């Protein structure tokens, strides 16, 4: 997933980076095909070049050597609301048929079955980043027909990168449809992890397997302890 | 002033309390002293409640939490918070997004009643929190979201250094500390190092909080552990991972508080209970070249 997500990033783009797999994907892209990718973290690091895997979004390694460090009012107003962010990377406990994300509650808001962390910056990232990419593992619980709570609206979602294939919005409703499969995966395998009847685009694309060099970079240098790769 | 005196004088039962710092410079030492002095009915506000508010909730200090992301960064859940929200804990919550919380502090710091922002369209957050409202722009008619000003009774900011008057310098991640301090009735600054006023004056662009808004300066080295202070010590990521198991069970969490919060008098005593900690986390030097302030 990290490799497929990295391929979505173009050299020179400004990307708002979330923690976990999005962070790995961005740093992989920066070390391979997109050396001029500008990584912005909501904690205030702009043009960060972390030389260890940041466990949290506020890791001190994001500060050392970065181009700019600013307060969070500047991050959200001058960069995000002002339209300077090209790509926003989000994950989520639930992603629904039209790409809405829930990171707030499972069950009713007032009496939650599971209380999740909440929005953080995810609501405004989904609203202001020009392209929104979602990275999430497939399962019927993670991909229900409708999320229990809309934390981040799905309007700007362009790709949902899963562990078996890629979904994209289709037509005026923005319904997510299957557009590409990983090697050795059938559409039925993807359907098994999605809670609605998944439509497939004709002529499904085949996602190329990760290059050995990318895997080596991920496993040996970017996440040697397997903090995020194991998932 | 000692931490004990600062909390005794400036933090009162029922107060709206802010201990800010985004991952960086979270003042655990102040949170622990508030727990020791058994403050009650506090409204605790922070973007990320983090382990410190989890501990304060577990200790019974909180009536309400105002927040935008309540998790253990890179690890998972805040279990005391979750128990209080999912069960019959009776903890009140008021929830925003990060931008919403930042905007609340910005309004409070600017002396305005609310702050407009382009946010929340298509989300369920305004339904969950009716204090998120909307206003029509008087120039364009555009509907903008609004959040109310947040003006805490007391804000506690951890910093690398300040002079005795409270002119406070911070570098690394700045979070919303400046806005939170300016929005607050009272401000306690806790520092790694007390420095001469000449040191502050040699680099005035680095001053985030001026003495005129500061009520107390407390010197408490390592007061942010397990959070970190750029240039002083690293984040104790191992402890954040360990908190998952500690906080999962009420009994284990209570014995943690007994040993490391109630069982010590101050940060120096806390550090004595963690042999090897300072050697493990002490920062390596990466000195900035500095600039010419002459004219």
The catalytic residue among A42, A110, A175, A186 is: A42
pTM of the model: 0.97
How many angstroms separate the CA atoms of B228 and A93, rounded? 29
Window 117-136 of A: residues touching B by CB (8 A cutoff) are 117-124, 127-128
Is B122 in Cβ contact with A155 (below 8 Å)? yes
Does position A231 have pLDDT exceeding 60, yes or no? no
Token pair of A97, please? Answer: 């048929």
A142 interfacial to chain B (CB closer than 8 Å): no
Percentage of chain B beyond pLDDT 70 is 100
User: Could you give the count of Cα atoms lying within 13 Å of B70 in the half-sphere of its Cβ?
Assistant: 27
Q: What is the mean pLDDT of residues A2-30?
A: 92
What is the domain class of B3-96+151-281 according to CATH?
A: alpha beta
pLDDT recorded at residue A21: 87
Q: Which of B74, B106, B175 to mutate to test the interface with A (most CBs of A within 10 A)?
A: B74
Domain boundaries, chain B: 3-96+151-281
| Separation of CA B18 from chain center | 6
pLDDT recorded at residue B65: 98
Provide CATH code, domain A2-222. Answer: 3.40.1080.10
| pLDDT 10s digits, B199-228 | 999 999 999 999 999 999 999 999 999 999
| Strand positions, DSSP E, A34-115 | 38-41, 45-46, 68-69, 87-90, 94-95, 101-102, 105-106, 114-115
- Taking Cα atoms as reference points, which of B54, B61, B59, B66 lies closest to residue B18? B66
CA angle A143/A174/A208 to nearest 5° reads 65
Token pair of B214, please? Answer: 């500061």
A80 interfacial to chain B (CB closer than 8 Å): yes
pLDDT recorded at residue B222: 98
Q: Which residues of B touch A155 (CB under 8 A)?
A: 122
Among A58, A153, A155, the residue with its CB nearest the CB of B24 is: A58
pLDDT recorded at residue A92: 81
pLDDT recorded at residue A227: 82
Q: What is the mean pLDDT of residues A63-79?
A: 98
Among B98, B103, B123, the residue with its CB nearest the CB of A152 is: B123
| pLDDT 10s digits, B223-235 | 999 999 999 999 9
Q: Which of B22, B93, B127, B228 to mutate to test the interface with A (most CBs of A within 10 A)?
A: B22
Q: What is the mean pLDDT of residues B139-164?
A: 98
A109 interfacial to chain B (CB closer than 8 Å): yes
């Amino acid at each position: 997933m990290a490799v497929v997500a990295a391929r979505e990033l173009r050299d020179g783009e400004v990307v708002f980076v979330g923690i976990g797999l999005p962070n790995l994907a961005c740093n992989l892209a920066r070390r391979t095909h997109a050396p001029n990718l500008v990584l912005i973290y909501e904690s205030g690091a702009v043009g960060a070049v972390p030389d260890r895997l940041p466990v949290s979004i506020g890791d001190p390694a994001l500060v050392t050597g970065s181009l700019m460090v600013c307060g969070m009012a500047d991050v959200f107003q001058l960069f995000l609301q002002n339209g300077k962010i090209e790509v926003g990377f989000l994950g989520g406990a639930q992603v629904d048929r039209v790409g809405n994300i829930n990171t707030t509650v499972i069950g009713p808001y007032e009496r939650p079955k599971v209380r999740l962390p909440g929005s953080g910056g995810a609501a405004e990232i989904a609203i202001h980043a020009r392209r929104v990419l979602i990275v999430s593992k497939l399962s019927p619980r993670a991909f229900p027909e409708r999320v229990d709570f809309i934390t981040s609206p799905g309007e700007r979602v362009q790709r949902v990168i899963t562990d078996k294939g890629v979904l994209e919005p289709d037509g005026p409703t923005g319904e997510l449809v299957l557009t590409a499969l990983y090697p050795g995966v059938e559409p039925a395998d993807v359907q098994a992890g999605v809670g609605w009847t998944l439509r497939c685009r004709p002529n499904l694309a085949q996602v190329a397997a990760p290059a050995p060099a990318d895997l080596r970079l991920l496993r040996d240098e970017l996440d040697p302890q397997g903090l995020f790769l194991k998932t | 002033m000692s931490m004990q005196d600062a909390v005794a004088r400036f933090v009162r039962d029922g107060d709206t309390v802010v201990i800010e710092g985004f991952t960086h410079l979270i003042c655990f030492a102040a949170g622990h002293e508030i727990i020791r002095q058994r403050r009650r009915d506090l409204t605790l506000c922070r973007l990320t409640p983090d382990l410190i508010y989890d501990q304060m909730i577990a200790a019974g200090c909180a009536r309400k939490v105002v927040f935008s992301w309540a998790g253990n960064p890179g690890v998972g859940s805040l279990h005391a918070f979750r128990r209080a929200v999912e069960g019959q804990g009776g903890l009140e919550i008021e929830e925003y997004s990060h931008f919403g919380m930042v905007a609340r502090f910005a309004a409070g710091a600017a002396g305005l009643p609310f702050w407009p922002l382009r946010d929340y369209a298509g989300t369920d957050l305004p339904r969950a929190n009716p204090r998120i409202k909307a206003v029509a722009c008087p120039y364009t008619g555009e509907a903008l979201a609004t959040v109310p000003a947040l003006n805490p009774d007391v804000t506690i900011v951890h910093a690398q250094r300040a002079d005795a008057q409270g002119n406070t310098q911070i570098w690394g991640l700045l979070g919303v500390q400046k806005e939170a301090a300016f929005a607050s009735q009272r401000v306690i600054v806790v520092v790694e190092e007390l420095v001469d006023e000449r040191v502050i004056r040699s680099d005035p662009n680095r001053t985030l909080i001026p003495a005129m808004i500061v009520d107390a300066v407390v010197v408490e080295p390592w007061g942010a552990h397990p959070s970190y202070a750029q240039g002083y010590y690293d984040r104790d990521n191992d402890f954040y991972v360990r908190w998952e198991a500690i906080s999962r069970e009420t009994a284990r969490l209570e014995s943690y508080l007994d040993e490391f919060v109630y069982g010590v008098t101050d940060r120096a005593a806390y550090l004595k209970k963690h042999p090897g900690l300072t050697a493990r986390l002490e920062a390596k030097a990466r000195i900035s070249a500095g600039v010419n302030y002459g004219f």
